[in-house]
Structure 1
Amino acid sequence: MHISVLALEGVFDTGLTVTLDAFRIANNLSGRLTGGTPHFDVSIVGVRRKVRSGQGLAIPVQAVTPELKPDWVIVPALSTGTPEQLVPALERPDMKQLRAQLLKWNADGAQIAASCIGTFFLAEAGLLDHREATTTWWLAPLFRQRYPNVRLDESRMLVPTDIGVTAGAAMGHLDLALWLIRKASPELATVVSRYLLADIRTLQAPYIIPNHLAQADPLVLRFERWARDHLKAGFSLQEAASALATSARTLQRRCEAVLGKSPLSYFQDLRVEHAQSLLHGSGLDLDAIAAEVGYADGATLRTLLRQRLGRGVRDLRAELR
Structure 2
Amino acid sequence: MRLVIFALDGLFDTGLTVLLDTFATANELAIAQGFAAPPFDVRVVGVRRRIRTAHGLSMLVEPASTVRRPDWVVVPAPNVRQPERLIEAFERRDVRDAMAYLRTWHADGVGVAAACIGTFLLAEAGLLDNREATTTWSLAPFFRQRYPAVDLDDSRMVVASDRVVTAGSAMGHLDLALWLLRQASPELATLVARFMLIDKRSSQAEYIIPDHLAHADPLVARFERWARENLSLGFSLQAAAGALSVGPRTLQRRTEAVLGKSPLAFFQDLRIERAQNLVSIGYDLDTIASEVGYADTATLRTLLRRRLGRGVRELRAEMR
What TM-score range do you get, normalising by the shorter chain? over 0.9
Q: Could you tell me which residue of structure 2 aligns to residue 180 of structure 1?
A: 180
SS at match of 2:154: coil
| Higher deviation after alignment, 65-74 or 51-60 | 65-74
SS at match of 1:232: helix
Amino acid paired to 1:64: A
Q: Could you tell me which residue of structure 1 aligns to residue 303 of structure 2?
A: 304
Cα deviation, residue 91, structure 1? 1.9
SS at match of 1:65: helix
SS at match of 1:159: strand
Cα deviation, residue 43, structure 1? 0.4
C-alpha distance in 2 between matches for 1:22 and 1:76: 13
| Higher deviation after alignment, 166-175 or 86-95 | 86-95
SS at match of 2:231: coil
CA contact (8 A) 2:131 2:151 kept: yes
Residues 276-295 of structure 1 aligned to structure 2 (within 5 Å): 276-281=276-281, 283-295=282-294
Cα deviation, residue 305, structure 1? 2.1
Q: Which runs of 5+ in 1 are unaligned?
A: none
Cα deviation, residue 180, structure 1? 1.0
Identity %: 64
C-alpha distance in 1 between matches for 2:245 and 2:63: 57
Cα deviation, residue 286, structure 1? 2.9
Amino acid paired to 2:305: R
Cα deviation, residue 21, structure 1? 0.3
SS at match of 1:206: helix
C-alpha distance in 2 between matches for 1:187 and 1:303: 34
Residues 60-209 of structure 1 aligned to structure 2 (within 5 Å): 60-65=60-65, 67-209=67-209
Distance 1:274 1:145, change over 3 A: same
Query: Does residue 24 in structure 1 map to residue 24 in structure 2?
Result: yes
CA contact (8 A) 2:49 2:60 kept: no
Question: What is the aligned residue count?
Answer: 320
CA contact (8 A) 1:290 1:296 kept: yes
CA contact (8 A) 1:203 1:309 kept: no
| Higher deviation after alignment, 92-101 or 301-310 | 301-310
Q: Which runs of 5+ in 2 are unaligned?
A: none
Distance 1:4 1:67, change over 3 A: closer
Cα deviation, residue 66, structure 1? 5.3
Structure 1 residues 11-32: Cα deviation after superposition (integer angstroms, max 9, x where no partner): 0000110111000011111111
Structure 1 residues 189-237: Cα deviation after superposition (integer angstroms, max 9, x where no partner): 1221122221021000111000000010011001101100000101111
CA contact (8 A) 1:4 1:43 kept: yes
SS at match of 1:246: coil
Amino acid paired to 1:291: S
TM-score (normalizing by structure 1)? 0.96
Amino acid paired to 2:75: V
| Higher deviation after alignment, 183-192 or 118-127 | 183-192
Cα deviation, residue 61, structure 1? 0.9
Amino acid paired to 1:11: L
C-alpha distance in 1 between matches for 2:71 and 2:274: 44
TM-score (normalizing by structure 2)? 0.96
C-alpha distance in 1 between matches for 2:218 and 2:46: 39
CA contact (8 A) 1:13 1:54 kept: yes
Amino acid paired to 1:197: L
C-alpha distance in 2 between matches for 1:98 and 1:35: 34
CA RMSD of superposed structures (Å): 1.4
